[in-house]
Homo-oligomer: A and B are copies of this chain.
Amino acid sequence: MENNIHILLVDCPDEKGLVYKVTDTIFRNQLNILKNDEFVEQEKKHFYMRTEFSGDFEEAQLIYDLRNILPSPANLKLSTNQRKDIVILATKEHHCLGDLLLRHHFGELNANIKAVISNYDSLQNFTEKFEIPFHTVSHEGKTREEHEVEILKLIGTYNPAYLVLAKYMRILNQGFVAHFPHRIVNIHHSFLPAFIGANPYKKAYERGVKIIGATAHFVNENLDEGPIIEQNVIRVDHSQNAKDMAKAGREVERNVLARSLQLVFQDKVFVNGNKTVILE
């Protein structure tokens, strides 16, 4: 996307003529539609629309005009193709973090990594090679709540649009998650809903599956059950043990996480209850 592109996300109950009404409103505001995608979810009769447009406008006026023609309740979000501020949480594994730092370093992430936070310091030297602040917030000797509050305070100083869990191996309490509704992206090391919870590669090995995978999803209050953004898989066979599968799986994990962030940071992902609608 070029500079100065605006992105409008609309979702509301469906009714006749919505595409016409929204494009008409944009047209009357003297704006130029560059790309338009919409989708009607038939089960709930819900309308989703993503529009890229260019031109000068007053945000309050456009929102006002749109509210006037949209059925209630309507969700409206105006964004741009500017980079989002993010904070990454990691534990000890480097493959997802390394991939994101590399993409960021070369300007390919569509995000500004403001900081990396981990409960261990093992990735500190590596992270700092890329001139990104690294904070170790150990969980030792703290309750989960104490630990999360400490991290929350730290995150607060960076005011990120999104949190990315790049193999952050601790479960987050509902109290933490509630601060960032649909704003935490996690990479889970299995093809959900197969192998929910810990040690998915060991479970995959023991079950003798022929394909393993990874899942990027928004985090909600239920572990491994948030809206799925992206999944992918890789073939395995009997010659691979759990450790080999974990190694092969890491390639998928980093690719799936990067792909999901590309979608999220370009405002292409709507949340529909426990699912996503992706308009590219």
B-contacting residues of A (Cβ < 8 Å)? Answer: 16-17, 19-20, 23-24, 26-27, 32-43, 94-95, 98-99, 102, 105-106, 126, 129-130, 191-195, 206-211, 213, 227-233, 237-239, 241, 251, 255, 272, 274-278, 280
Instruction: Pick 27 A–B contacts, CB within 8 A, sort by A.
Output: A16-B27, A17-B33, A20-B27, A20-B33, A34-B40, A39-B238, A41-B238, A42-B241, A43-B241, A95-B106, A98-B102, A98-B106, A102-B102, A129-B129, A129-B130, A191-B211, A207-B274, A207-B275, A208-B228, A208-B276, A209-B231, A210-B228, A211-B231, A238-B272, A238-B277, A239-B280, A251-B255
| Nearest-CB residue, chain B, relative to A242 | B43
Known contacts A191-B191, A238-B275, A275-B208; A37/B37 CB under 8 A: yes
| Nearest-CB residue, chain B, relative to A106 | B94
**A278 x B233 contact (CB < 8 A):** no
| Nearest-CB residue, chain B, relative to A130 | B129
Instruction: Choose among B23, B40, B231, B274 the residue that contacts A23 (Cβ–Cβ < 8 A).
Output: B23
Min Cβ gap A216→B in Å is 9
**B230 x A210 contact (CB < 8 A):** yes
Residue numbers in B under 8 Å from A42 (CB-CB): 241
Min Cβ gap A255→B in Å is 7
Complex Cα spacing A94 to B102, Å: 9
Complex Cα spacing A12 to B33, Å: 16
Residue numbers in B under 8 Å from A233 (CB-CB): 211, 233
| Nearest-CB residue, chain B, relative to A238 | B277
Known contacts A36-B19, A105-B126, A210-B228; A278/B237 CB under 8 A: yes
Residue numbers in B under 8 Å from A106 (CB-CB): 94-95, 98
Residue numbers in B under 8 Å from A20 (CB-CB): 20, 23-24, 26-27, 33
Min Cβ gap A162→B in Å is 19
Residue numbers in B under 8 Å from A277 (CB-CB): 238
Complex Cα spacing A64 to B52, Å: 30
Complex Cα spacing A235 to B154, Å: 39
Complex Cα spacing A208 to B278, Å: 11
